[in-house]
Structure 1
Amino acid sequence: MLHKPITRRSLLGLGAAGAASLLFSGCTTERSDGKVEVEIVSYKQEAVSIFEQLMNEFNSTHDDIYLNIQSPADAVTVMKTRFVRENYPDVIGIGGDADYASFTDSNILADVSDCPTMEEVNPAYRDILESVTYVPMDGVFGVPYVANAAGMLYNVDMFEEKGWEIPTTWDELTALCDEIKAEGEVLPFYLGYLDTWTILSPWNSITTNLVPSDLARQVNAGTAKFSDYYREPAEMMLQMLDYAEEGPFAYSYNDACTAFARGQAAMYPCGSFAVPQILSVNPEMNIGMFPMPSAKNPDDRIVVSGVDLQWCVAESCQHKDAVYEVISFLAQPENIQTYIDDQRAIPCLEGDFTLDPLFDGVAEWIEEGKVLDYLDHSYPSAMACDAQLQTMLLSKDIDAFLEKWDTDWQRYNRSVIRKVQAAESQE
C-alpha cells in the first residue's frame, strides 16, 4: 500500500479536524454484562428486517458477543460524519463503489485478508473490489457478501407467448425491437430517464462490453482518452431512444418500473435492484434477465455485477476476533440464503445456493466469473456523469459529449490522477 499522510487533509469531503490523526479511538466496546459489543452500520436500509432476524439469532446463540446492526437513513453520510468525529463503528456495510475507494484511500479500513471468510469469496468479486480502488492496494479491505447484476430485464411470459428469441448481438436486439414496434401492441423498451441516475444502468451494461476493463485507470495514467472508446456506446444509447416511450425524459424510474410491470414494454434495461419495485406493482410478473448484447462477439458478452454489500472493518477496531466471528456467522450458507431470498441478491461467496429465477439467464456468466463492475463506480460524483449522458441524449451531440467528458474528467479527478501517476512512476 502507498501510505500517504492525511494530516490536516479534508476527510471524504466533510473537512474538519477529526481526520488529522491516525490515532483512532477504540470502537468495539465491552458491555456491562461482560459481552463484547460489535456494531455494524449498514447502508442497506431495505434489508432492515433481515438484519434484525440475523442479529436476534446471533445474540440468542452467543454468550460472549452482542451484535448490534444499525441501518440508518442516509447511512453513508452518517458514516462520514462519524469518521470525522473519530467515532468509528466496528464494521461498515457498504457497496464496492467510490465511497469504498475513498474510505480505503483515507486509511480508515483495516486489512481483512486474514478473515477466514475471505477464503470462500468468489475470486471475481474480490477482483472487482480491487479494481474499484484508485491505486493498487497491498491488502484486502472488504469482505464481499452479496452482489447485484444489470443487463436487460424482460417479460418472460410475453417472450414465450410471442416466440421471441433472446438476442445475443446488437443487430439481433434491434431486429427484435423493429418486430415489436411493427406489431404495435407494446413498446420494445421503457426507459424513464427523468431520474438521471437510471441512464447509467444501460450505459454501464452497453459500455462494459466495448471498452477495456481498466479504461479509467488508463485515462488516469495518461495513456488513453474516453473519447477513443465512448462514441459507439453513445450511438447505441441514442439508438435505444427509437424503441422507447415518447419523451422518456418526462418519466421517472417509478414510472418505468410501473409501465414495465403492467406489460407496456417487453424489456427494461436496468438491474436486479429494480425487481422489488416492479413486483410491488405486479407481484405475479415473471421477470428474466439476459446480458446486454453489445459485444462484438456474442461469446465475449459480460454481465455487469457489482459488490452490493461488503463488510469493512475499521482500522481502529480492537477486537477483530469478535468481528470475524460475526462475519463468519453472517456468511453461514443458511444465513446468506435467507438474505438473497429476501433481497433477490447474488452471493459473493462460493457455495451451493439457490438463486432467484430472475438470474437464470445470466447464471452461466456469474458462475464462470464473466462479470465486471459498474463503470460508474469509478466516476467522480462531482462530474455529474449521469446528467452529461442525459444532455447527450437530448442534444444528440456526441462530439460535444465526448469533449466535455474528457475535459471534466481531468478537472474533477485531479487528485486521483496524481495518485495513479505517482503510483505508476514508483512502479
Structure 2
Amino acid sequence: MSTSRRRIATLAVSSIAALSLGLTGCAVGEIGGDTDAGEGQTEITYLIGDSGGTALPFAEALTKKFNEMNPDIKAGVETQPAGTEGDNLIKTKLATGEMPDVFGYNSGSLFQAINPDQNLVPLTDEAWAKDLPEEFKVVVSTSKGLYGAPTGTTQAGGVVYNKKVYADLGLKVPTSWAEFKANNDKIKADGKVTPIEQTYGDTWTAQLFVLGDFANVAKKDPKWADEYTANKRKYVDQPALQSFDNQQDAFESGYFNKNFASAKYDDGIEAVATGTAAHYPMLSSAIAAINQNFKDNVNDIGFFALPAPDAADTQMTIWLPNAVYIPKTTEGAKLDAAKKFVAFINSPEGCAIQNEINTVTGPYVSTCELPADVPDMVKDVQKYLDDGQSSPALEFVSPIKGPNLSQITVEVGSGIKSGKEGAALYDEDVKKQAQQLGLDGW
C-alpha cells in the first residue's frame, strides 16, 4: 500500500492527562425537508456544527446514503451555530435532555467538559472501536469508557512551502532552525520572493510559530505538558521559550513580507501558492484554500515541521479530529439506529463520502484511507507520521490556552515585544483560565 493510502501511523505521544481544546461546533435549524419517519421506520437526528465549508453538504450526503442503505431508519440533519454560542448550546441541550440522537463535537478537553460519563452512551464495545489508535481513544474517553467516533482527518501545524522556489534555489527541506535560517538567508539574498509570509491582518495566523512548535518542545521535555498544567513549567523558560524566540528571530532577520501587519490569510495562501513567498507557517488545512483557489498550483506546495534548534528534536505537531457522540437520552430503537449511524460514518461507504466531499488535510485516525490522488502536501504530513516524528498540539494534552496568544504573537512578530517579553505575557495570560478550571497549583 502506498504512503498516500495508509492510515495514520502511531503518533509519538508522551503523556496525555488533560485533553484537547478543539474547534467549537455550530446553529439551530432543521435541514433536508420532511424528516418524519415512514411506517415502520425509526427516525433519528444528527446535530452538526455548520460553520460553512463542507460541514453541511457532508452531513446531508452522509444521511442520504445511510438512509438508502437502511430503509428501516430515517436520519435527518439539524444544525446549530459555531463558536462559543454553539458550545453553550451543546451543554444546555445535554443538561435539559434535548440533545438530538447523534451529535458532532470536539475531542479532548471540551469533550471532558460536557461530563461524558453522565451524559453520553459508552461505545467501547462497538466493533469499530478496536481499530482506533490509542492517540485518538484517549481524547474521546474517560476511565469509564470510550464515547466518540472520529469524523474527518487530522491536520498538522508547520510550514507550507513552495517547492518550485526550493528547486530554483537548490534548497533542501530544513531539519534544524539553523538550516531554516540558511534557506531564508539564501531566498532573501536572491531577492525575488519573500522568505516567510506573515498575515497579521488575521491575528490568529500569528500563533503558528508557537502552536506549531509544541511537538518540538514535547520531544525535548516529554513531561512539559503535564508540568505546565500543574503550573510547574513556563513559556518564559526553555525549551518552550524557543517558540517565541524563533518568531522574534524571523522578524529581526527581515524575512517577512513588507505588508505583514495588514496582510490576511487569503493573501498568505496566494503568496505561497503562486511562489511570491517561499514559506508560510500555517496549518495543513491550507491545502483546502489552495485547492479551491489555485488548483493548478496544488502540487507545487509541500509541508515540513517547524524546525527545532536541534534536528534530532524536530517533530510535527498534529491536531486530532472532532468526533460524533450519542447522548444518554437516546434509547431503545433510536439508540440501535444511532449506533448504526455512528458506525456508518467510518464504514467504506462513509469513508468514500468523506473523501469525496471533505477536503483531506492530513491522515485519518479511522479505518478510512486517503484517496490515491491526495495532494503532495498531505503526503508530506503522512511521512512524518509514518516515521514516528509527530505528537499532538498542546491543546490536546493540556486544557490551558490563554485568550490573548494571537495578540501577543502579533507583537512579537512585529518587533514590539521580544520573545521573552511575549512569553512572560502569555504565562500571565493563562493564569485566569487555569484558575477558572480549578486546576491544582494555580
Same fold (TM over 0.5): yes
Contact kept in structure 2, 1:94 and 1:308, CA below 8 Å: no
SS in 2 for 1:383: coil
After superposition, the C-alpha distances for 1:136-184 in whole angstroms (9 at most, x for unaligned) are 6442232223222222111223323433211111111110100011101
Give the equivalent residue in structure 1 for 2:315. Answer: 302
Give the equivalent residue in structure 1 for 2:189. Answer: 182
Matched residues in 1 for 2:232 and 2:116: separation?
A: 23
Moved more, 72-81 or 141-150: 72-81
Give the equivalent residue in structure 2 for 1:3. Answer: none
Amino acid at match of 2:345: L
1:171 aligns with 2:181: no
Matched residues in 1 for 2:389 and 2:375: separation?
A: 19
RMSD of equivalent CA atoms: 3.0
Q: How does 1:17-416 map to 2 (within 5 A)?
A: 31=37, 33-43=39-49, 45-47=52-54, 48-74=56-82, 77-78=85-86, 80-81=88-89, 83-85=91-93, 86=96, 87-96=98-107, 98-104=109-115, 107-127=118-138, 129=139, 137-145=143-151, 146-211=153-218, 212=221, 215-229=224-238, 230-241=240-251, 242-285=254-297, 286-318=299-331, 319-341=334-356, 342-345=358-361, 346-350=363-367, 352-354=369-371, 355-368=374-387, 370-376=389-395, 378=398, 383-394=403-414, 395-416=416-437
Matched residues in 1 for 2:355 and 2:388: separation?
A: 18
Amino acid at match of 1:347: Y
SS in 2 for 1:226: coil
Contact kept in structure 2, 1:147 and 1:348, CA below 8 Å: yes
Contact kept in structure 1, 2:41 and 2:71, CA below 8 Å: yes
Structure 1 residues 53 and 105, CA gap change in structure 2 (3 angstroms): closer
Query: In the TM superposition, what is the alpha-carbon distance from 1:284 to its structure 2 partner?
Result: 0.6
SS in 2 for 1:267: strand
Contact kept in structure 2, 1:42 and 1:93, CA below 8 Å: yes
Q: Which runs of 5+ in 2 are unaligned?
A: 1-34
Query: In the TM superposition, what is the alpha-carbon distance from 1:369 to its structure 2 partner?
Result: 5.1
Query: In the TM superposition, what is the alpha-carbon distance from 1:236 to its structure 2 partner?
Result: 0.4
Amino acid at match of 1:40: Y
Give me the TM-score of the superposition, normalised by structure 2: 0.78
Contact kept in structure 2, 1:189 and 1:267, CA below 8 Å: yes
Query: In the TM superposition, what is the alpha-carbon distance from 1:380 to its structure 2 partner?
Result: 5.2
Structure 1 residues 382 and 171, CA gap change in structure 2 (3 angstroms): closer
Matched residues in 1 for 2:83 and 2:38: separation?
A: 28
Structure 1 residues 203 and 33, CA gap change in structure 2 (3 angstroms): farther
Matched residues in 1 for 2:409 and 2:117: separation?
A: 30
Moved more, 380-389 or 270-279: 380-389
Matched residues in 2 for 1:141 and 1:173: separation?
A: 42
Amino acid at match of 1:252: K
Give me the TM-score of the superposition, normalised by structure 1: 0.80
Contact kept in structure 1, 2:122 and 2:146, CA below 8 Å: yes
Matched residues in 2 for 1:391 and 1:106: separation?
A: 42
Query: In the TM superposition, what is the alpha-carbon distance from 1:359 to its structure 2 partner?
Result: 1.6
Matched residues in 2 for 1:239 and 1:388: separation?
A: 15
Query: In the TM superposition, what is the alpha-carbon distance from 1:246 to its structure 2 partner?
Result: 1.8
After superposition, the C-alpha distances for 1:37-89 in whole angstroms (9 at most, x for unaligned) are 22222225422223322221111121222222334442763453254252212
Structure 1 residues 92 and 298, CA gap change in structure 2 (3 angstroms): farther
Contact kept in structure 1, 2:235 and 2:427, CA below 8 Å: yes
Moved more, 273-282 or 248-257: 273-282
SS in 2 for 1:362: helix
Q: How does 1:3-22 map to 2 (within 5 A)?
A: none
Higher fraction of helix: 1
After superposition, the C-alpha distances for 1:249-289 in whole angstroms (9 at most, x for unaligned) are 21111221222233210121111222222233321112443
Contact kept in structure 2, 1:379 and 1:385, CA below 8 Å: no
SS in 2 for 1:290: strand
Structure 1 residues 240 and 38, CA gap change in structure 2 (3 angstroms): farther
Matched residues in 1 for 2:143 and 2:421: separation?
A: 36
Query: In the TM superposition, what is the alpha-carbon distance from 1:415 to its structure 2 partner?
Result: 3.5
Amino acid at match of 1:203: V
Aligned length in residues: 389
Structure 1 residues 352 and 49, CA gap change in structure 2 (3 angstroms): closer
